[in-house]
Structure 1
Amino acid sequence: MADPTPLLSQSATASSEQEPPKLEKNHPSFDSMIEQSMKGLGWAPLMQALLLSLAWFFDAQQTFINIFTDTLPPWHCANLDDEYCNSTSDVCRLPSSSSWQWEYPKHASIVSEWGLQCANSAIKGLPASSFFMGCFIGGLLLATLADSSLGRKNMLFLSCLVMSCSSLLTVFSTNVWIYSCLRFITGFGRATIGTCALVLSSELVGKKWRGSVSMIVFFGFTLGFLSLPAIAYVNRGSSWRVLYIWTSVPAIGYCVLVHFLVCESPRWLFLMGRREKAVETLKSIASPGASILTKGFFAISLEEDPLNNMDIFSAIKALLEKRWAVCRLCAVMLVGFGIGMVYYGMPLGVGNLHFDLYSSVTLNALAELPSTLLTFVLIGKLNRRSSVLFFTTLSGICSVMCILEGRVWQKLRIGLELVSFFSGCTAVSVLLIYTLELFPTCVRNSATSMVRQALVLGGVFSPLLVAAAARRGDGMLSYGVFGLVIGCCGLFVMCLPETRGGNLCDTMDEEERKEKKRDSRVLC
C-alpha cells in the first residue's frame, strides 16, 4: 500500500537532516514518483482505463454512423417486365420515378427521405464531410484547453456532452442542410474526446503499462464500431433517426460517469502547481504494495515556469518555438493525414464493393479487433517508427491493388480491402502511442490532438472522393487514391526518432535535452 502519512505533514516537518544540496543533485522528478508507485497495474488504473475506453466506444459510433444513415437504400423495379429498368443499376437513368420503388420505407435513410439519390456528390458527401470538418476545427480550437485551463478530465466531460447532445438534436433535422450543421457541431464536440481519453489513461500508469493501457482504450473504439452494424441491422427499415437515439442517449449517461468517477491526470495537476491534489490522486490509484516517493516531493522543481498561467494558445506556442518540436509535429501530422484517408475512407466506400453493406461493415469492424489485439500483445516489443512505416506501406499496396480489373481481382477485392483497413487500423494505434511518447506532458494533449486532426482531415476528403468515384461509375478509383496517399505520407515517419522503452518527459527543456543527447550518440 501507499504510505498513508500525509505528504503535506511530511514536507512541512522535514528536518534539517535533509540536505538541500543533495536534493538539487539528485533532481527528483514526478516521473520517478509515478514509476515507483505504478510498478504494477492495479485495479484502480485498470478501471480508469476501462471507463475511459467507453469514450472511444461512443466516439466510434458517431464517427461511422453516416455509413448507415446516409446510404443509398436498395431499390427495385416496380414492373419486373421493364427491361430497361432491369438493365441499369443507376436509378437516376430511369425516365420516371414511378418505374422503381425503395425496398425500405423512405425514412430509412436521409437519401430516400429527402430525395438525394440523384444529387451531386458534394451534397451526398456533405454530412460526413461536415462531421470531419467539425472535428478538424474543434481540434484546432479546443485541443490546448486540456493542456492549459480545463485539464484532461473536464475537457473529456465537456466534449462528450456536446457530442451526445448535438447527436440527439440531429433527430429533429428536416433537410440535409440542418442535418449537416448538426453533424458539424457533433464533430466539433467530438474532436478532443479520443485524445483526452488516451492521454489521460497513459498518464495514470508507468511506462511499463503505457502501451497496454492505450490498447485497452483503442479496444473501446473497436467495440463501438462493431456495435453499429448490429444496431443498424436490428433497426433496418426503421427511421435513420432511431440510430441517433440509440447512440446518443447512452452517451449522455456516460457523461455523468465521467464527471463523478474519472480521475484527473496527476502529471497535469503537478505541472499546474496543484501538487497536493496530484499526490492525492496518485495515492488513490497506486498499485497495492507500491511505495510512493514522499520525502522531498515538494522540493521537486521544474526548469520551466509553472503552467498555471497558460492561456489556450500557450501549448501551441511552446510547440512552435522549438525547431525539433515543429519537425516532429509536421512529420506525424503528414503520416496521420495519409492514414486518415484509409481509416475513415474505406468504411465509407465499402458500398462500392458491391457486397452486402451490413456484412462488409461488420468485416471492417472485425478487422479492427485483431489489429487491436495484435498491437496490445506486441506494443512492448514493436519499434514505433519501423512499425508505422511497415503498416502504411502494406495498406497502400493492398489499397492500390483493389483497383485492378479482372475476375480474380474482383473476388479478392474484399480481402485486399480488409488487409488494407487492418493495416491502417494498426498504423493508427501505433502512431497515437508514438505521438504520446514524442512530446512532453506540457504539450502532449495538444500535439496528440493535432495528429488526430490530421487523421480527420483525411476523413474530410474521403466522403467526397468516395461519392465522386461512385458518381462516375468507378467506385474503386477512390481506393487507388487512398493507397497512394497513405504510402507516400507514411515515408515521413523516417524523420522521427525511436521512442520505445523511453521515459515520458514533463517539460520542453527536458525533452530537448533528451533530443540533444540522442543526437550526440548518433554522431558518435
Structure 2
Amino acid sequence: MNDYDKNTAFLGQWGRFQQMVFFLLCASIVPNGFAAFSVVFLTDVPSHHCMVPEVNLTRDWRNAIIPIEVVNGKPRLKRCHRYRLDVVRNLSAQGLFPDRDVNLTDLEQESCVNGWSYSRDIYQSTIVSEFDLVCSDLWKQPFTSTVYFLGVLIGSFISGQISDRFGRKPVFFATMAIQTVFSFVPIFSPSWTVFSILLFTSGLGQISNYVAAFVLGTEIFTGNVRVMFSSLGVCLGFAIGYMTLPLLAYFLRDWKSLLLAISLPGLLYLPLWWFIPESPLWLLSQGRVEEAETIVREAAKMNKVEAPQVIFDQDYSVCADDTKAHPRQHHNVFNLLRTKDIRNTTLILCLVWFTLSTGYFFLSLNTSRLHSDPYLSCFISAAVEVPAYISSWLALRYLPRRLSTIFVLLLGGVSLYFIQLVPESLSNLSIALEMLGKFGISTGTALMFAYTAELYPTVLRNTASGTCTTVSRVGSCIAPSLIHLSEYFKYLPYITVGTLAVMSAFAAFFLPESFGRPLPQTIQQMHSMKFPFITRKDRSKPVVLFESQL
C-alpha cells in the first residue's frame, strides 16, 4: 500500500506552494462569515406600532392613540393594535382630552389597518419593515432564518457526494459562485416569498463552499500544517468575516446595502481558479496518477526542491485492495453505514455535530440578549470565537481528539446549565457564562471538522464531512425556533442545549482515537483504528470487504 504523505515528503510542509494555497483557501472562507449570520441584521425586528394616517387629531390624541402594554416589566407601545380611529377622531373633534375626559381602557381597539410605522433608531430598514413581517405575519421572521439553514442543510448533503465524485476544486468554485450570486439577487425581491427562495439558494452554496475548501486543504497539506489549517486557518477566516459583519451592518443600515456589501467580495475570488489546484489525493483515488503527479511536480518547482524521477507508481492506489481492478468505484452515503465500526462512528459523530450546531447557532442568533446594541452584541459573540479557535488548534496539536471533544462539550453544557442559577441582578455573570458556553461549543465545532476528516478514508472523507454537516444543519434549522422557547420558560433553551452537550460528551467516549495517526486512505485502514471497549478477540477478526463496500 502506498503512503501519499511519504511519497510527497520531499515537498516539505511549509514551502511557497503550501503558503499560497493556505492563505488563498483561508481568504475564500471570509465571505462565509458574512453570509452565515447576515440574517441577524436582515431579519431583526425594529420597534414598531400601528401607523396613524394624517387626519384631524389634536396632539394629545395623536400621542395617545396607541395603547400601552407592559412587557417584561417595562411599558411600551402596543405593536399590533390602536384605538379605533373613527372613535378617536370624533372625541378629538368634541374637544375631549384622553385620560382626563375619556377613560382610554373603555375605548375599542382595532388592528393596524393602515400598516405600521417602524423606528429608524437602529436600522434604516430590514426585511421585516420591507415586507411587514409583524403581528399575524410575525412567524415569517424566524422562519426566514430556518429557510436559509434548510438551504445550507441540503447543500451540505449534496455537495459532499458531488465533490467525492467530480473533484474538490470544481465543487469549491461552483458553490462559491452560488453563494456570491444569490447573496446579491435577493436585493430585487418583490415579496417575502421570492426573497426566501433566493435566500434558500444562497444557503445551498454557503456551507458547501466551506466544506469543499476544508477538505481540499486537508488533503493538500501534511503534518502540523494540516492541523493548523483544519483548526486555526479556516476557522479564523470564518471568524474574521463574522467580526466584520457587524461593522458593515453598522455603517450600512439598509438591508439591501448590506446584502450588496457581503456579496461583492465573492467576485475577488474568481482568479483563484488558476492558483488553487485539485487535490492530488483525490486524483489518485480516481486512478488519475499522471494528473496528480503533474500537480506535485509544479508544487516542487514553486518550493524550489527537486522531485524524484517517479513520484507515484502507475498502479498507485489510495482506495481499497482491489481498486486496481475498479479504479473509478464511486462511494455514497450508504457506505457510512455498511459495517459496524463505521456505522457506530458515523452515528456518534452525527449526534455530536447536531449538538454543536444547535448550540452554536442558538447562542449566535441570541446575541440581542447580550446588550441593547445589536452591533456590539454580534461583535462580542464573534470575538469569543478567536480564542476558541486558537484553543482548538493547540488541542489538535498536543491533546488526544476524543479527550478534547469530551472536555469542550462538558464545558459548554455545564456553563449553560449554571445560567439559571445566576440572580437577575448579576446579568453580567449570565453573559459571561453564556460566552463561556459559546467558547466551548465553538472550540468543539473547530475540533470536529479536523477529527471527522481524520477518521474517514479518502474515498469517503468528503461524503462523511458533508453528511455530518448536513445532520448538524438540522440543529441550525431549529435554532431560531429554539430561542422562542424562552417565552414559556426563560431558561428552557439553555437547559435543552446543555442536556444535548452532556449526552454528546458521553457518546464521544466511544469514538476511535486518531491523534498521531496518518490520514486513512482505505476503508481497511479505518477499521484498523483503535475503538474503545472492543476486545482483542473482536479486533483480531479479519475485516472482509466486498466489492460493494469499497
TM range, smaller chain: 0.7 to 0.9
Over residues 207-234 of structure 1, what are the superposed CA-to-partner deviations in whole Å (9 max), with x where a residue is unaligned?
3321112221211001011110010011
- Measured after TM superposition, the shift of residue 523 of structure 1 is 7.5
Structure 2: segments with no counterpart, 5+ residues: 51-61, 84-111, 541-550
Change in 2 beyond 3 A, CA 1:296/1:69: closer
Report 1:41-440 matches (<5 A). 41-74=14-47, 79=63, 84=68, 87-89=74-76, 91-92=78-79, 95=82, 101-104=118-121, 108-119=125-136, 122-148=139-165, 150-214=166-230, 215-236=232-253, 239-254=254-269, 256-286=270-300, 287-289=303-305, 292=308, 294=310, 297-301=313-317, 303-305=321-323, 309-310=328-329, 314-404=331-421, 406-440=423-457
Secondary structure of the residue aligned to 2:181 is helix
What amino acid does structure 2 have at the position aligned with 1:483?
Answer: G
In 1: Cα distance, 2:308 partner to 2:13 partner: 13
What amino acid does structure 2 have at the position aligned with 1:32?
Answer: K
Change in 2 beyond 3 A, CA 1:168/1:114: same
CA contact (8 A) 1:59 1:190 kept: yes
Secondary structure of the residue aligned to 1:321 is coil
In 1: Cα distance, 2:77 partner to 2:27 partner: 40
Change in 2 beyond 3 A, CA 1:453/1:409: farther
Structure 1: segments with no counterpart, 5+ residues: 1-26
What TM-score, normalized by structure 2, do the two folds share?
Answer: 0.82
CA contact (8 A) 1:75 1:103 kept: no
- Measured after TM superposition, the shift of residue 434 of structure 1 is 0.4
- Measured after TM superposition, the shift of residue 95 of structure 1 is 3.0
Change in 2 beyond 3 A, CA 1:193/1:100: closer
- Measured after TM superposition, the shift of residue 181 of structure 1 is 1.3
In 2: Cα distance, 1:324 partner to 1:104 partner: 57
Identify the residue that residue 12 of structure 1 maps to in structure 2. none
Secondary structure of the residue aligned to 1:273 is coil
Change in 2 beyond 3 A, CA 1:521/1:241: farther
CA contact (8 A) 1:352 1:475 kept: no
Over residues 271-324 of structure 1, what are the superposed CA-to-partner deviations in whole Å (9 max), with x where a residue is unaligned?
11111111121222345547558266224345132676345xx23233232221
What amino acid does structure 1 have at the position aligned with 2:298?
Answer: S
Change in 2 beyond 3 A, CA 1:234/1:135: same
In 2: Cα distance, 1:519 partner to 1:156 partner: 42
In 2: Cα distance, 1:174 partner to 1:284 partner: 50
Change in 2 beyond 3 A, CA 1:197/1:505: same
- Measured after TM superposition, the shift of residue 85 of structure 1 is 6.0
CA contact (8 A) 1:336 1:428 kept: yes
What amino acid does structure 2 have at the position aligned with 1:261?
Answer: F
Secondary structure of the residue aligned to 1:88 is strand
Change in 2 beyond 3 A, CA 1:453/1:495: same
- Measured after TM superposition, the shift of residue 143 of structure 1 is 1.4
Identity of aligned residues (%): 24
- Measured after TM superposition, the shift of residue 352 of structure 1 is 3.1
In 2: Cα distance, 1:412 partner to 1:117 partner: 33
In 1: Cα distance, 2:278 partner to 2:339 partner: 28
Change in 2 beyond 3 A, CA 1:491/1:290: farther
1:446 is aligned to 2:463: yes
What amino acid does structure 2 have at the position aligned with 1:246?
Answer: A
In 1: Cα distance, 2:485 partner to 2:117 partner: 24
What amino acid does structure 2 have at the position aligned with 1:167?
Answer: S
Change in 2 beyond 3 A, CA 1:353/1:420: same
> How many correspondences in the alignment?
489
What TM-score, normalized by structure 1, do the two folds share?
Answer: 0.85
Secondary structure of the residue aligned to 1:407 is coil
Identify the residue that residue 33 of structure 1 maps to in structure 2. 7
Change in 2 beyond 3 A, CA 1:31/1:293: farther
1:505 is aligned to 2:479: no
In 1: Cα distance, 2:77 partner to 2:223 partner: 55
Over residues 434-484 of structure 1, what are the superposed CA-to-partner deviations in whole Å (9 max), with x where a residue is unaligned?
001000011101101112222221100001122x236x3766532332222
What amino acid does structure 1 have at the position aligned with 2:189?
Answer: S
Secondary structure of the residue aligned to 1:192 is helix
Deviates more, 1:38-47 or 1:82-91: 82-91
CA contact (8 A) 1:159 1:189 kept: yes
CA contact (8 A) 1:385 1:497 kept: yes
- Measured after TM superposition, the shift of residue 415 of structure 1 is 1.1
CA contact (8 A) 1:65 1:228 kept: yes
CA contact (8 A) 1:79 1:100 kept: no
What amino acid does structure 2 have at the position aligned with 1:479?
Answer: Y
In 2: Cα distance, 1:262 partner to 1:355 partner: 43
In 2: Cα distance, 1:405 partner to 1:91 partner: 31
In 2: Cα distance, 1:44 partner to 1:414 partner: 43
In 2: Cα distance, 1:361 partner to 1:52 partner: 25
Change in 2 beyond 3 A, CA 1:81/1:300: closer
What amino acid does structure 2 have at the position aligned with 1:180?
Answer: S
CA contact (8 A) 2:157 2:469 kept: no
What amino acid does structure 2 have at the position aligned with 1:184?
Answer: F
Where relative contact order (Cα < 8 A, 6+ residues apart) is larger, the structure is 1
In 1: Cα distance, 2:443 partner to 2:144 partner: 27
| Structure 1 segments (4+ residues) deviating >6 Å | 80-83, 516-519, 521-524
In 2: Cα distance, 1:210 partner to 1:418 partner: 28
- Measured after TM superposition, the shift of residue 74 of structure 1 is 4.1
